[in-house]
Structure 1
């Protein structure tokens, strides 16, 4: 009886270890990830407004069909990046994602920012230069430090009425994203 119980416990432990190892390694083996999907949108250093998601259609990024989305891919090894512009007078949010698709920073217009978004995105080395006043920034710029150089920005807009969606998406396309010129 004791021997059978030991074999059962050993089998459960071994099964648990194999199960955990499988779960932890499967994402590393995936050929299509959130990052590869974003990279295929040609959104490097510019906002790309995503087409509306129709009910029943494929939704690989798992986006809410009621919202409008703009996406921008950044590489901070090229220098600091900036997200700048005026968004419509309705709910909006901005989120930074790392290559694994994990949110590293997020804000909304309900944080007291208003409709103008002025976001400076820096890596750790650039933040040190900023602290030493070797990088000039505009007054009122919201400074965000990223742990990684490769990331993407997702801007979400909630139009109060479907008839306003096209105007909101046009305003979203005017947002600048990427390194500052000059």
Structure 2
């Protein structure tokens, strides 16, 4: 009985070890990162709506419309304007390494849209020195790196409203401030 227990314990430990090693090693062994896959289809400084024919996602959710914008803050800040949709809307900010550094939802909107400006730490310090502290109507966001992605995700509330949701996301803008 004891021998069976020891063999079972050894097999379980070996399985856990193999699982952990594969989880840690696979992202480093991947041929392309998520940022590189999105960079192949998404333009810089403008939102690209991902349709079913040009998405790098393995199995996208048909009830969610997704758009991406790549940013590079080396030449200055980036302004973002996203009009609201009839359903739930979220905006996520990622570094080029895939680290999510900020996210907000449609509840952060004022006057039917989300407007914000994305800065590097040095740019944000200079803006605050010139213009003073942050104002309630001007959302300022600090990015930890100069390059990254902005992901918009909008839920389609009803099956017949997909075109309307896609139109709303197509009107979103990101570009130099």
Q: TM-score, normalised by structure 2?
A: 0.77
Q: Could you say what secondary structure the match of 1:38 adopts?
A: helix
Superposition pairs for residues 6-21 of structure 1, below 5 Å? none
Give me the whole-angstrom Cα distance separating, in 1, the residues matched to 2:176 and 2:80.
9
RMSD, aligned CA: 3.1
Q: Judging changes above 3 Å, is the alpha-carbon distance between structure 1 residues 98 and 161 closer, same or farther for their aligned structure 2 residues?
A: same
Give CA deviations for 1:89-141 in whole Å, capped at 9, x if unaligned: 32101000111222110000134656311011111111111111169x99712
Give CA deviations for 1:33-83 in whole Å, capped at 9, x if unaligned: 101111101321001111048xxxx86366433100111000011210111
Structure 2 unmatched runs, 5+: 1-12
1:99 aligns with 2:108: no
Asked whether the equivalents of residues 47 and 174 of structure 2 are also in contact (C-alpha less than 8 Å), the reply is yes
1:132 aligns with 2:129: yes
Aligned residues: 163
Q: Judging changes above 3 Å, is the alpha-carbon distance between structure 1 residues 72 and 106 closer, same or farther for their aligned structure 2 residues?
A: same
Structure-2 residue corresponding to 1:39: 39
Give me the whole-angstrom Cα distance separating, in 1, the residues matched to 2:84 and 2:44.
20
Give me the whole-angstrom Cα distance separating, in 2, the residues matched to 1:46 and 1:163.
26
